[in-house]
Structure 1
Amino acid sequence: MGKPANAERSARARRAWLMGSAALSLLAATQAMAQDQAPPAEAAPADEEEIVISGIRETIQTSIATKRNETAIVDALSSDDIGDLPALSVGQAIQTITGATTHREKGDASEIALRGLGPFLSNSTFNGREATNGSGDRSVNYNQFPSELINEIKIYKSQQADLIEGGVAGTIELGTLRPLSVNGRRIQAELKGNFSPYGDRIVGSGGLGYRVTASYVDQFDLGGLGRLGISLGYQRNEGSNPEETVAGSSTWTACSPTVVANGTCTEVTRAQALAGAPFYLVPNSMAWRQISEDDKRDAFFGAIQWQPSDRFELNIDVQYSDRTFVENRRDLNISEMRFGLTNVVFDENHVLRSFNGLSALESTASELSRSEEYLGGGAQIKWQPIDRLTLTADASFSRTIRTEIERNARLRTDPFDVNNTRNFFATAPFGTSSMRVPYSFSLPEGEFVPRVTIDPRFNLNNHNLFWDDARMRRDESRRHNEIIAGRFDARYEFGGFLDALSVGGRISELTFNDYDDRKEFNLNPAMTEDRRINNLCRVRAFPQTNFLKAAEGNTITSWATFDPDCLFREYTGSVDPGRNADTRAVANRDVTERVYAGYIMGEYRGDLGSLPVRGNFGVRVVRTEVTSVGLRSDLDVVTNPDGSIRLVESGDFTNVVIENATTRALPSLNAIFDLKDDLLLRAAVYRAMSRPAPSSLGAGRSIVLESGTSFTSIEDAIRNITANGSPRLEPLMSWNGDLALEWYPNRDTLLSGTVYYKQFSGGFIPVVIDEQFTIGGQQITVPVTQTQNSDDKSRIWGLEVTAAHRLSWLPKPLDGLGFKVSYNYADSDFKTHDIRLGDVVDAVTGDITPGIIPPANISGYSKHVLSAQAYYEIGPLSVQGIYNYRSNYYQDFVGGNTQLRYVEDNETFDLRATLNLMKNVSLRFEAINIFDEPKATYMPVQGSSRQYHYYGPRYFIGARVRL
């Protein structure tokens, strides 16, 4: 199932036009490259060497040169000056590189997937050092770092032994400026204002923001103490990222079509489904959410480079980022999507098409604030004691702390309104005590957003109808990720066929710990008190105009909303009751990972007959030791005023320590054959590994209760218990081969193609283990599901193509036109099973019970990734358009052990323009997401709509002064 029909037709037309244009450009360029080719002995005529190239053309030229000079298979984006990367964020910049694509959050590029493989299969480094993440995985939130303070981005597609570790998909290396590489003092300041048309629809907001960037680079001659270079950069960013969404819950159930008119649908087991029992897939709840947001970020980068002599160099660098955003959320919840379902219609893929249901409705007001602080840096000493020997020592530190606080105030429907008047749904046939409202659900073919119609006798905008079962909930989570590392390298140059030999070692310690703290107040005061609070805390006007206007099929545009600060203050006596004194819980994670690695690598250069050949070969041995500490506790049963129950820890905890260790050898071989002066053939064979995310190594437990109030036993109330990590998960290993042919006719032109193959050893599969829990004084046996490594073998093969060219052979002024097009195709047979509905292993017997829904591929896998750039530079004007397309992919939830979620095809088109008013002053204009693309996800099978996310486009205009 896809996007709305008209949007899908428009998207197909845009893709066809852009792909066709790219193909025609490629054909034309191929024919013209030869006539535009410079003589091999000199890259360009002497007079052209004197021309100063800048802007987009300079960035592409530098990137082509970097790719050509690297030994491994590398794609890059680089610039000689701070602030010249053509993007608003590092994530946006990376997705213009061949084979790289992004996952979007808040309408911007965040985590990166390489070659159709998810972020967890890549390794990210900052100035050659590992960087931490507040998400709990090993990728980097690239939206955290401003592109204006980054100078170079390299993506190593093949591995070599001296890299930190590499990854199955590749290594993403971010680099900041070395101040002694710049000639002279550079002082630069830039101010940008931004406007979000969507933000202008938020009541009380104009959709405006700004970002200011300043940098300073200088060098000093210290006489006998050598040379000293300093670079400093700072950015302040303030804006808003409003969102609107309609979403199902993150847990889906297979339900029997047998009608339960006044009860919860009957769950179908794997055995029943495999025996032929029909079923449909339904979420536990569904919510419409309107989000208003304020976003602030401060970032600082600094570096000191000291060269007291030609043989000694000291580099110290530091990066700091502090980002805080506050979301005001207004939700309308259908909290019981599995209750009272009748007239159910579903298709052959078990996707719901229509039904009638009964559910309590909830108006929930909440405020969520997130603060994420990153601090990283290190010191490096490089010493050349003799001409051929170079010694390098490096120490680094990286820490990310993410704290998230959400205050959530829920008001629910009741058989009576707040004025004690009986509601229509509290009569036959719904029952005199029913709080459930009838509604209908319909999802026509070709539409994504379900058409949900609440019984028209129920006025969603009537505040009087939302007042009962008040629940004030405060959730706080904190994730702390820290890496301390040191490495030592020695390189000796021989000068023969074995040109150089490098050896080195690295030690690192990663710690990841988190907690999720909840303080909950379930309140049911006298109706007169509810009435007073309801009237005092209601928000008279819906916070947004034209809610979900762009979502074809949406039927709900507003509802009664309330002020969460007011509700907390009146119901609990405090706007923020604070966290519990004891934040220990059975779901907490405490992971320590120690890595010991050593490598040896030889570099060679010579002739194979008459064919020049160069490259490297080596092996890295990696020892990984994991210690994961979890908590276990008895659980007490607490009955809420509405008759539902919740479980709370008794407060008496015991530690559970799980340890695991692995040792892996990672050999690699890279070879470059100079077929001609401008034609290279590259080959690489290597073994790679990707470790599980730190959050996936936790030893805690997550307990989820069924919704509803009528339970005869604790076993009935517990929906499931899952491990919130699997400490014994081992790295995903792969053997890899790459073969690339690259043509460099001139500095503006590149035509390359790469084929690659990856053979995976092992996958992931759920395993069920019975565990004993003391709940309410009873010993309860509950099957706990977690993920383990499987013996599956799988593979992925793919093709990458890149073409870049400046159409200098066209007559003026068209000779300023240029383009870069890159495309990646990948084919994979990897399998990831749904934790509840997929294949499952019995931990005792090892038997596999087949699942009842299809497995997904590997997380982040997209079959097609396309990036097309066109630019035009004439005199002081530079214009660039960037189109990115990514086909649908499976995206796991951070922490693992969750159900399958698919992201629909998505595409973006961004526009950038620069006008140089004078030598040191320029105006800049940027627009992102001009196509106004939403983000759409399915769960747990393709076509089963889970979430529609809309952000809208954003526009930036500013000025830069460089001295």
Structure 2
Amino acid sequence: MSNLAHSTAFSRPQKTTYFKRTTLAACIIAASSGAWAQSASEAQLEEVVVQGVRGALQNAQEMKRDSATVVDAISASDINALPDKSVLEALQRVPGVSIERFAAADDPDHYTIEGSGITLRGMPQTRSEFNGRDSFSANSGRGLSFQDVPPELMGAVEVYKNHTADMIEGGISGTINLNTRKPFDSEEQQIALNGALNYTDFADETSPDLSALFSDRWDTDVGEFGLLVSLANSKLKNRYDSVQNGVNTLNSVTGVGERWTPINVAVRTTDQERERKGGNIVVQWANPAETTQATVEYMRSDATQSWVENGIQSDDVVGTASADSVYNDIQFVSGTLTLDGDNTYNSFTRKSDKRSLVEDFSFNLLLTPNDKWTIELDAQYVKASTEVTDLNVFGALATDAYVNLDRNIPDIRFTAPASSSQTDSEYFSDPANYFYRAAMDHLEDSDGNEKAFKMDVEYHIDDGWFRSVKGGVRAADRSQTTRWAKYNWGVLSESWAGGRKYFDGVHDTDPWNGIREDGTYDAPTYYNKDLDNFHRGETVGVNGNTILVPGEQLVSSYQNFLTGLSGFGFASLGTRNGVVENYYLPVEINDTDEQNRAAYLMLNFGSPDDVWVGNIGVRYVSVTNKTTGGSAFPDLTNNALPLPADDLAFSNGASYPSTESAQSDQWLPSVNLKYNFHEDWLARISIAKAVSYPDLGNLRNFMSVSAIVEGQDTNDDDIDDTAVVNEYRASAGNPFLKPMEAINYDATVEWYFDDVGAVTAGLFYKDMSNFFASGSYPRYMTNNGVTKVVDVEGPINTGEASIKGFELAYQQFFDNLPGAWSGLGMQANYTFVSASDVPNQNLNPAKGDEPVQATTFDNLPLQGMSKHTYNLVGIYEYADVAARLAWNWRSDYLLTTRDVITKAPIYNQAGGQLDGSVFYNISDNFKVGIEASNLLNEITKTKMQVDQEGTQIDRSWFVNDRRFALVLRANF
């Protein structure tokens, strides 16, 4: 809580059936981070009763208008009812905010229906908060995974785009504060029930949402007590399919010229299941004199997400375009990719399970002993954990592929190779054509906690221009243990590794490793994967739309994975030399301890007539990090291939622990000035220095060296009998990363012409230094008496950059229209962002002993930044009907600078999504409605950059569900 009333009593709602405009705004402000310089009593109290969509927009508008810096807000239209199905989806309606639709910002191969992260004004360095306090997920990031937060627990969401000195530091792009409800928010008892039945049309699945809230307050002889209990549970099942154009090479085509041509393609189908469980309990007490208020809150967010993926793909060189292929001016358009030699495609089954848990305990004590002093004490304890199990089993088969990219969704048809005498139907249903090729396991088990305490003291001056002086201190200690095992690929069977083991239980070489004398073995299970409705039936033909894939039970649990593959000699994570805690190398377990000490001083001022209002202040923060980890070298001691003695000595699997420390000290001045030059017009200028601290994953103290081994077959027996280490590579963290710094400039003009009516325009500029980037550099490393050149790739600070842009926003209800037409309303906003001198590069490690790094592409755009985004929302609220139709669109943007498969930058193409809802008030207490997402069945497309000139060619196409929900809400 922050500045409350400049009086002997804190601000409290008065008895009324519905929330008053300024009362609810003041309650939400009181629960926020302390960035509100104006006290609640300075707001102009009006007896305006609001509710529903109109009330939510009015509250958000008041929060923006009365703020001490540049803010946008979202308010729940009903108890337990944000205007979208998730916090992320609601945030995408805010000017300057874009959400990521992929499972991770650097994973362009896996889609997610509800989004996975945000950028604010083109940058991901956004601080996240619960009720103005720290919050985080125990992953490699620093902030909260918004997609894991139950939206039913939120009362309002604030997006701060600049800073005041009393705000906790850490967001260059801004701060997003999630506010939960409190029992003192309302004078009356509140009981709310919310139920929904979700249906996803592509997955053809239904799943429930349930939430409930109880809130009440009681007067006693020792003061007033309040209690709020809120619970939420939401499940969603959905599906997406993808078609992917694989690695491309620049080929000289006879009679055509040089054209980019794929060497492989891929199709995938993925079934996802997500569950969010959450709840919070809040107890409040106020003494009879209303000079002391205490708030105790516990909040829990428990989210799980699982997905199962099947398909056909290849990361290796596979095929050559047929002579009758068709090309445009840049790339291959259609033709057949004919199999080369002994190459194969992977027929695979992959399953990922993730659970994220966040628990937040807090205590707040607010003291207003007299008219002059406000004292606030706040304590918090957060603990979080993240667990991930990711398993993959690859079958393999030889197949040609007909490809036609000249369609809205490409047509890809896998066919039997020319060497087969079987029909396509016979070929793809015959287990004798599939062998078990490889497997992969990956585990993560991370946990963290934070203890934080802060004290804020405000002295109210009320003398001329001087309103109050506010100061405070904060101490926070965060510790996190990240256990992150590598993506551990290992061969199951191959011609070069002892022969192939086929799905039908036959081995293709002489008996070995427990194989029966007749060449058979006990094969794991497989099953038919029906692709009849792939991409809604528009694209793929495979053996009557059926392929064989490894059995899903192989990846249903880690124990089943290990048991099912035990006959192959697969070297799982737990069998590696030197593992601790069952599965992890010491270098994969990183302990990070961070101490944050901060203090600030801020002066709130304003002219006697309130025409000029502002604040000026400075914040000092000192952050110390200690990271424990080490270095690990590859293990080639059991390699079946003959290697030189020095490579075997260097690659002995050794690991060495180490601990590193770093400290940063920052002075963060800020000034915010608001000029109310007309009753309905204001302008503001905000200037502040801001910092963003590196993600904890990038601070990890680790260096993991791997060896790239190339073998050679000299006897024509398909078995390599000579080998050489072509190069050594290392992925690394950087415990010495400095914070990114920026000077943020904002200027706005805002016109508030009605209770729900505003036009606002803003300019912003960010001058940044110590930019975070990925770097590649050669380093001499010595192990076991042998020195080798290792190409290290990891995070670094580099260069300076700037971001500039502007935002426009408009909202209005057309009350002057006659009758039912007066229920029409509209929201619209547009954001333009441009970045300059961004030190973004696509980096390949240097080869051999080259003394300099080799850069493939430089001058790439800022990752995650769309130059243009806009929202158009049509609203209707009249009598008992409320409806909304919302369109969100963003221009193309860079998804990742370096895709793990193609090593190329991948761009998400421009696109939008149409969502809608309609609700009907059955009575004063009940309403029923329908919500819908992705009404236009949008296709998400990506492209890859293939040269320094910026040439882009087709990469992927994703089709996902339209989502519908039947909703029933009750409020008493």
TM-score category, normalised to shorter length:
0.7 to 0.9
Tell me the SS of whatever aligns to 1:61: helix
- The residue aligned with 1:493 is 460
Shift of 1:635: 2.5
- The residue aligned with 1:300 is 279
Shift of 1:92: 1.3
Shift of 1:835: 4.2
Shift of 1:472: 4.4
Shift of 1:245: 2.2
Of 786, 793, 797, the match for 2:804: 797
Tell me the SS of whatever aligns to 2:756: coil
With 874-883 and 546-555 compared, the bigger mean Cα shift is at 546-555
Paired amino acid for 1:315 = T
Structure 1 residues 196-244: Cα deviation after superposition (integer angstroms, max 9, x where no partner): 11012xxxxxx111111111111122312x1111111111222312222
| Compared CA separation, residues 644 and 675, structure 1 to 2 (3 A) | farther
Paired amino acid for 1:913 = V
Shift of 1:477: 1.8
2:803 matches 1:807: no
For 1:113 and 1:818, locate their aligned partners in 2 and report how far apart those are by CA, in whole Å: 28
For 1:801 and 1:440, locate their aligned partners in 2 and report how far apart those are by CA, in whole Å: 47
- The residue aligned with 1:742 is 750
For 2:531 and 2:473, locate their aligned partners in 1 and report how far apart those are by CA, in whole Å: 57
2:327 matches 1:328: no
With 942-951 and 914-923 compared, the bigger mean Cα shift is at 942-951
Of 212, 217, 222, the match for 1:219: 217
Contact 2:641-2:723 at 8 Å conserved across structures: no
- The residue aligned with 1:949 is 958
Contact 1:794-1:830 at 8 Å conserved across structures: yes
In the TM superposition, what are the counterparts of 1:11-50 in structure 2 within 5 Å? none
| Compared CA separation, residues 818 and 649, structure 1 to 2 (3 A) | farther
With 522-531 and 320-329 compared, the bigger mean Cα shift is at 522-531
Shift of 1:644: 13
TM (norm. structure 2) is: 0.80
Shift of 1:960: 1.4
Tell me the SS of whatever aligns to 2:115: strand
In the TM superposition, what are the counterparts of 1:2-401 in structure 2 within 5 Å? 52-79=49-76, 82-105=79-102, 106-115=112-121, 117-119=122-124, 121-200=125-204, 207-224=205-222, 226-247=223-244, 287-308=266-287, 309-337=289-317, 358=340, 359-401=343-385
2:698 matches 1:731: no
Tell me the SS of whatever aligns to 1:132: coil
- The residue aligned with 1:622 is 621
| Compared CA separation, residues 247 and 126, structure 1 to 2 (3 A) | farther
| Compared CA separation, residues 587 and 469, structure 1 to 2 (3 A) | same
- The residue aligned with 2:9 is none
Contact 2:898-2:905 at 8 Å conserved across structures: no
Shift of 1:682: 0.8
Paired amino acid for 2:797 = N
Shift of 1:547: 0.9
Cα root mean square deviation, aligned: 4.1
For 1:641 and 1:407, locate their aligned partners in 2 and report how far apart those are by CA, in whole Å: 25
- The residue aligned with 2:492 is 522
Shift of 1:288: 2.4
Shift of 1:953: 0.9
Contact 1:213-1:234 at 8 Å conserved across structures: yes
Contact 1:286-1:337 at 8 Å conserved across structures: no
- The residue aligned with 2:32 is none
Tell me the SS of whatever aligns to 1:66: helix
Shift of 1:774: 7.2
- The residue aligned with 2:830 is 823
For 1:82 and 1:579, locate their aligned partners in 2 and report how far apart those are by CA, in whole Å: 48
For 1:45 and 1:658, locate their aligned partners in 2 and report how far apart those are by CA, in whole Å: 55
| Compared CA separation, residues 181 and 45, structure 1 to 2 (3 A) | closer
For 2:389 and 2:450, locate their aligned partners in 1 and report how far apart those are by CA, in whole Å: 25
- The residue aligned with 1:548 is 535
| Compared CA separation, residues 570 and 510, structure 1 to 2 (3 A) | closer
| Compared CA separation, residues 408 and 295, structure 1 to 2 (3 A) | same
Tell me the SS of whatever aligns to 2:101: strand
Structure 1 residues 431-450: Cα deviation after superposition (integer angstroms, max 9, x where no partner): xxxxx655566655x86758
| Compared CA separation, residues 342 and 705, structure 1 to 2 (3 A) | farther
2:518 matches 1:510: no
Tell me the SS of whatever aligns to 1:560: strand
2:762 matches 1:754: yes
- In the alignment, structure 2 segments of 5+ residues that lack a partner are 1-42, 103-111, 494-498, 508-519, 555-559, 576-581, 713-719
Contact 1:188-1:962 at 8 Å conserved across structures: yes
Paired amino acid for 1:883 = W
| Compared CA separation, residues 472 and 80, structure 1 to 2 (3 A) | closer
Tell me the SS of whatever aligns to 2:632: strand
Shift of 1:816: 0.6
2:927 matches 1:925: no
| Compared CA separation, residues 361 and 281, structure 1 to 2 (3 A) | closer
- The residue aligned with 1:272 is none
- The residue aligned with 2:632 is 633
Tell me the SS of whatever aligns to 1:67: helix
Shift of 1:856: 2.3
Contact 2:626-2:660 at 8 Å conserved across structures: yes
With 865-874 and 557-566 compared, the bigger mean Cα shift is at 557-566
For 1:90 and 1:696, locate their aligned partners in 2 and report how far apart those are by CA, in whole Å: 26
- The residue aligned with 1:36 is none
Shift of 1:305: 1.4
For 1:853 and 1:452, locate their aligned partners in 2 and report how far apart those are by CA, in whole Å: 33
2:909 matches 1:904: yes
Structure 1 residues 307-351: Cα deviation after superposition (integer angstroms, max 9, x where no partner): 124221211222212222332222322241378789899999899
- The residue aligned with 1:537 is 525
Shift of 1:246: 3.3
2:542 matches 1:562: no
For 1:299 and 1:644, locate their aligned partners in 2 and report how far apart those are by CA, in whole Å: 55
Shift of 1:118: 2.6
Of 765, 778, 781, the match for 2:789: 781
Contact 1:836-1:899 at 8 Å conserved across structures: no
| Compared CA separation, residues 698 and 279, structure 1 to 2 (3 A) | farther
For 2:784 and 2:394, locate their aligned partners in 1 and report how far apart those are by CA, in whole Å: 27
Paired amino acid for 1:799 = F
For 2:642 and 2:936, locate their aligned partners in 1 and report how far apart those are by CA, in whole Å: 48
| Compared CA separation, residues 437 and 193, structure 1 to 2 (3 A) | closer
Structure 1 residues 808-856: Cα deviation after superposition (integer angstroms, max 9, x where no partner): 1111110010111111111212424334359x999998x786x342432
- The residue aligned with 1:275 is none
Paired amino acid for 2:967 = G
With 872-881 and 361-370 compared, the bigger mean Cα shift is at 361-370
Structure 1 residues 528-586: Cα deviation after superposition (integer angstroms, max 9, x where no partner): 8448778872324x245311247769989542223132685554279999956241254
Shift of 1:160: 0.8
In the TM superposition, what are the counterparts of 1:573-652 in structure 2 within 5 Å? 581-606=582-607, 612-637=611-636, 652=654
| Compared CA separation, residues 363 and 686, structure 1 to 2 (3 A) | same
Contact 1:356-1:441 at 8 Å conserved across structures: no
Contact 2:445-2:484 at 8 Å conserved across structures: yes
| Compared CA separation, residues 708 and 650, structure 1 to 2 (3 A) | closer
Shift of 1:456: 4.9
Contact 2:141-2:697 at 8 Å conserved across structures: yes
Tell me the SS of whatever aligns to 1:757: strand
* Structure of higher RCO (CA pairs closer than 8 Å, 6+ residues apart): 1
In the TM superposition, what are the counterparts of 1:377-456 in structure 2 within 5 Å? 377-413=361-397, 437=399, 439=401, 443=405, 449=410, 451=412, 454=415, 456=417
With 933-942 and 188-197 compared, the bigger mean Cα shift is at 933-942
For 2:195 and 2:680, locate their aligned partners in 1 and report how far apart those are by CA, in whole Å: 42
Tell me the SS of whatever aligns to 1:198: coil
Contact 1:448-1:553 at 8 Å conserved across structures: no
Contact 2:633-2:706 at 8 Å conserved across structures: no
